[in-house]
Structure 1
Amino acid sequence: MILIITVLFSLFYLFQINKMTFALCQSREIPEEKQPKIYRTVNILITILILSFYLEVLLNV
């Protein structure tokens, strides 16, 4: 049950972070060739954050 809730939360959270990253790229006028690197970095960091959150919850339950 916790896995399903975490996956749904993670997808929603990742989508929101990508929307904010897009807004950042637009407001700062970041060139198109640098944007994939920014998205990749943000998505990897958020994925690490989500995995560590899941492990913390899993080990404390």
Structure 2
Amino acid sequence: MGACATAAIDNYLLSGALPARGMLCTDAPQPFSSPLPSSVQALRKGKQLPPVVSCVPGRS
């Protein structure tokens, strides 16, 4: 988290004041904003995540 967001959060917690409408903090890099390298995409291609829970018999 960047200094801008930390200051806005601190200000809110200490005084209850909201940041100005439309305020954007751009001083910290955003995670997951760049695409995966092609080598990682190639590894993931065709793979499927397992189900979170087992299927209930008789239901799909």
TM-score (norm 1): 0.25
Greater percentage in helix: 1
